[in-house]
A and B are shown apart, each in its own frame.
Chain A
């Protein structure tokens, strides 16, 4: 297989370079014609904030990998990019790398759930631009299968790996039914926004946003279908919330212990969760001494994140096993591509003889008898060719020795002089795809 790929990712380059090289959909759409014209017959461009990858089948042999980097930089000229920032992949290694990427084990955040969708989208762009062939389709279908199996069969994507999500995980350990709970998010910055989105995704009944700049609060509230409470009236409303997440950039405490004590009296002791994901802290840590008040700050939430990251790392061998299984499955299929033209030729050869002989007796027998003879010869040819077809394909699918497969197909071609029986102009892969499962019918 002559698949070639390059990758610039979190292991090979800085965040600044990766960000600078990130290609949006339009940029990918502009790059693909360039690749199609100069380098690849089919391929894919994957670009996320943490990686940019180009994979494809070269039009000619002996392709200089640096020319792929050249095309990329031609589409997106960036200063300071050096060839050593790119990892290169070939053949089986390129397929394995793609499977690993789709499974999330190659991501910066191991088990990243977004990468599978990004791989899928990248291939869809290639298909739309007629840059995808049957082999690359099979590779990407399998890659997506790997990603789905990794999610289903392992816990690689489980557990919170961001502080915002960890705070929601803690909330779930206190309350069973979040639909009946109300949450207050103080601060509409990046962390506050993430926390509010996680709360919305978890189905929290009512979300309220409070921020010094009311416009930002309104914007975030609209995003999470929530309400706002003006920052200056915040403390009067504390008792109304079961969950309070604070993520402001304030240098001073926003919520003090005595304010929570007062709120708890109004709440008649019903529990409240306070998540302080701000640095420096927004909530007085003394609140943890109050009964039924569950207070967590960045330090405690970081413990959860680290634990979950460790758990995900422990799942990598299981995912690698899935990658290997699918890799073997893929190459079993790929190896059959070598025997399909031979199978096709041998069938054409036998069919031609059959039709030739039928033609000779057509006028010597009645129509009724001719139909019977025609059926009989079709069945006969089918039965004669069934075993060689199954054996030849099985031989290829075992994938043990590609040279042996080639030798066998060569012997068959020599024995029956099959060079004159082409495969109707369809690509080998398509033929193989179409003929899968047809042996029994034949």
Chain B
């Protein structure tokens, strides 16, 4: 665990040592500000952040691949993966540490948006329950997207390729089922729609903390991270 934490600390700090981390954060804060003023600060609208969280889903679709693309690709490109994996660090600790760093960075990016919550509380009397569950949903959704990003990044030494592969995978996982499910018979449509993480996220934004949804995010994240561990271990079988 201490090794995974050491990996996470280094990786988290690296986001702020590189321009990429600041650019992504700036973009995220700017766009979330626009979303907030359009979705939650409209006159006559209820004091909720439901639409705001809904817009953030689309933003995470692009932001998460940008966060995860360098996690393993850069180690492969620079050859530092050899230094790391000849230290007493298991592949699982490396993957867990990197993913944790990504999630912590995402949460750091989300933190400034708490100002909007304070602003909403100052201007109106919002129901804080859906806001808390909305943030929980975003964290779980982000964690899942980042685990897919980790997997894509572990497969290539090119950051660009890792970004595009993650984006493609997220679109396939999230947008396709949303588009396809309405055209299918009701039961099959519900099954296919259930694949889309963003549809489950919508319940969190409404204030519903569904344990099945939470389990879906956690299990799927672990599954992608486990595949990532196997990919890194596969150098031993080749």
Q: Please say whether chains A and B are actual partners in one complex.
A: no
Which residues of A are in contact with B by a Cβ distance under 8 Å?
none
